[in-house]
Amino acid sequence: MPEKYIQNTSTDREKDIKTNYIDLACSLLGGKVLSCSDEFFAEAENLIKREKPVRDPSRFTDRGAWYDGWETRRHNHSYDWVIIKLAFAGTIDAFDIDTSYFNGNHPPAANVEGCHSPDKDPVPGDDTFWVEILPRVDLGPSASHYFKAQTPNSRQCYTHVRLNIYPDGGVARFRVYGNVRPIWPRDKRATIDLAFIGNGGQVVACSDQHFGAKDNILLPGRGKDMSGGWETKRSRVPGHCDWIIVRLGAPGHLKDAEIDTAYFKGNFPESVMLDGCFSDLEIPDDTTEWENILPRSKLGPDKQHYFRLKETRWQFSHVRMTMYPDGGIKRLRLFGQLALTNNGETNGHSVDSHNTSSSYAIDAAPLTNDQFAAYGQVIEAFAESNLNSPFAMSITHGIRVTPANQGTARKYNHIAKAANFRQSAITQDGKLISKAEQNICLYHCQPTTEFPFKLKLLERHLYSSQAFIPLDGSSEGYLVIVCLNGQDDKPDLSTLRAFVGSSKQGINYFPGVWHHPMIALKQVTDFVCLVHESGVTEEDCEEIAIDDNITIKLPGPIDYNN
């Protein structure tokens, strides 16, 4: 039996939505239209846009008036439908079927069905078992129709929904409000972003959100402009600070934090501080004891900042980020491991056990100088306020920057070191090792289609560094997987890390660092490579198979160019 839903037209519904739910179908989070019966007048993908619908009466297409929504052709004798894959598996508590600006061409009625199909996407006519969630309801012209379950927080988990309209017409937006049902890895060593909205993280309180909503800070990717972050009003009182409290998707032990100020260039905070606590309350009260996990640390403009957190044996359920004195932050990511109960189970919210993974999962983090320092160097330009003098030293990177080209350029000196340990033939362990020469070559890399990415091998260049620089500034980035050498002269998998590099970043591996061959993302990418080789394959490059079942995960949809 479908749950009972009631239509809610009260003015407090916006507060109810923002406080308790997320739109599981939203394309910004990763929701996707898979198929539909018809979209003759307007595309179905418009249904799940985050932006509110708009109307331009003067705009026409070759098929008629333009509408910001999904509109099917006339004279359907049955009904039209659209199948949507939710951004995250979750429970559903409310729907909004919005017919804004569709007046005279709106559908008179609709219903919603759902299914739980984590292993495959349903296709029309297959054996997917659909259940009715929202029974058939009446719709009116140019209006929002909000239906909320009378018994919220059903235990039923859904991965896909199907909106049916009777018999045809146009719908501007379709919102599916609910809560994420996290899918945790079975491997207890896995490092995951416990604050990520897709893992059940939620902002439960903040001091101010005058210019940018607090919930933006846990979204995937880096957005496209300043509008998609958390931004407070300007403070006028000395000693002011703003704060935000995040309830983690489940209690855990935190290791690293990423604080991203993307697009905030003149309005980023001077510094931030992180504190953690464990509380059974949704919002920790005034009696809660907080433990500092990141001392007050400086931030810069339009930049990803990666911090190693204080080591502690305590587990945390909430994290408070304090920024001084005010400003904007795009994203907050908190990486760690799930806390376990005495019987080895996850100590937190409900888990969808149907589709857990037996893999040892590694989360890829943004590529930064600090985090890559043990494995090599990041080749990139950077902007800092102290670089205005003719001869300046970067505070963050320790690189000398000098003017060049008659003052039209800045030269970043010794940004990476090309190493060649075989400038002449050498003898090692009684074996003659051939002389190596510089080889500037180009790799034309096809993008991977395997996600999560399964690690099958690593390679190293024992006698040479190896640099890769992407040529195409419009490419979608690349995945870097690195590992240090162990005492047994094999990869030490406890040091295995994965990073996502942008098209504006190059990398230089230290000699002897184990790494995976280049992994392009989304599109073909050309890389210029600088390495020293002798032509003797076993001396130039050593490969080793990885027998462990290790996968690399990207943390949600990523805007690689941003």
Q: Where are the domains of the chain?
A: 5-180, 192-354, 371-378+415-553
For residue 475, the model assigns a pLDDT of 62
CATH superfamily, with its number, for domain 5-180: Galactose-binding domain-like (2.60.120.260)
- Is 561 a residue whose pLDDT tops 50? no
Range 344-364 average pLDDT: 51
Phi, psi (deg, nearest 5) at residue 53: -65, 155
The strand ranges marked E within 262-367 are: 271-277, 291-298, 304-308, 316-324, 328-329, 331-338, 360-363, 365-366
CATH superfamily, with its number, for domain 192-354: Galactose-binding domain-like (2.60.120.260)
* % of the chain at pLDDT higher than 90: 66
Q: Categorize the per-residue pLDDT at 562 as very low, low, confident or very high, splitting at 50, 70 and 90.
A: very low
Give the pLDDT confidence of 293-343 residue by residue, as tens digits. 999 999 999 999 989 999 888 899 999 999 999 999 999 999 999 987 555
Could you give the CA distance from residue 22 to residue 20 in angstroms, rounded to a whole number? 7
Range 213-238 average pLDDT: 92
Give the pLDDT confidence of 161-200 residue by residue, as tens digits. 999 999 999 999 999 999 999 888 767 677 889 999 999 9
For residue 150, the model assigns a pLDDT of 73
The strand ranges marked E within 299-425 are: 304-308, 316-324, 328-329, 331-338, 360-363, 365-366, 376-379, 392-393, 400-404, 409-412
Could you say which DSSP state residue 188 is in?
A: T
Q: Categorize the per-residue pLDDT at 370 as very low, low, confident or very high, splitting at 50, 70 and 90.
A: confident
Range 252-258 average pLDDT: 93
Closest CA to 2 of 95, 85, 113: 113
Could you give the CA distance from residue 498 to residue 515 in angstroms, rounded to a whole number? 10
The set of residues, in sequence order, having a beta carbon less than 8 Å from that of 496 and lying 6+ positions away, is 362, 455, 481, 482, 483, 550
Range 265-283 average pLDDT: 96
- Is 91 a residue whose pLDDT tops 80? yes
For residue 430, the model assigns a pLDDT of 66
For residue 281, the model assigns a pLDDT of 93
Cβ burial of 306 (10 Å; 0-12, 13-18, 19+) is buried
Per-residue CA distances from 233 to 218, 241, 323 (Å): 20, 11, 12
For residue 388, the model assigns a pLDDT of 54
Q: Categorize the per-residue pLDDT at 257 as very low, low, confident or very high, splitting at 50, 70 and 90.
A: very high
Range 204-228 average pLDDT: 92
Single-letter code of the amino acid located at 318? H
For residue 558, the model assigns a pLDDT of 42
- Contact, 75 vs 168, CB < 8 A? yes
The two tokens of residue 492 are 């030490």
- Is 387 a residue whose pLDDT tops 90? no
SS3 255: strand
Range 515-533 average pLDDT: 94
- Contact, 226 vs 268, CB < 8 A? no
| Residues counted in the chain | 562
Give the pLDDT confidence of 421-477 residue by residue, as tens digits. 998 887 676 678 889 999 999 999 999 988 788 999 999 999 999 999 999 766 668
- Is 376 a residue whose pLDDT tops 80? yes
**CATH architecture of residue range(s) 371-378+415-553:** Sandwich (2.60)
- Is 284 a residue whose pLDDT tops 60? yes
Per-residue CA distances from 480 to 411, 458, 495, 498 (Å): 26, 11, 14, 6
Weakest mean pLDDT among 83-92, 228-237, 243-252, 541-550: 541-550
For residue 494, the model assigns a pLDDT of 85
For residue 165, the model assigns a pLDDT of 98
For residue 243, the model assigns a pLDDT of 98
Single-letter code of the amino acid located at 179? N
Return mean pLDDT, the chain.
88
Closest CA to 415 of 428, 402, 406: 402
For residue 10, the model assigns a pLDDT of 66
Q: Give 452 or 388, the one with higher predicted confidence.
A: 452
Could you give the CA distance from residue 444 to residue 98 in angstroms, rounded to a whole number? 47
**Most confident region among 2-6, 492-496, 550-554 by mean pLDDT:** 492-496
Q: Give 561 or 416, the one with higher predicted confidence.
A: 416
Could you give the CA distance from residue 558 to residue 562 in angstroms, rounded to a whole number? 9
Q: Is beta strand 497-501 parallel, antiparallel or unpaired with respect to 365-366? A: parallel
Could you give the CA distance from residue 364 to residue 481 in angstroms, rounded to a whole number? 8
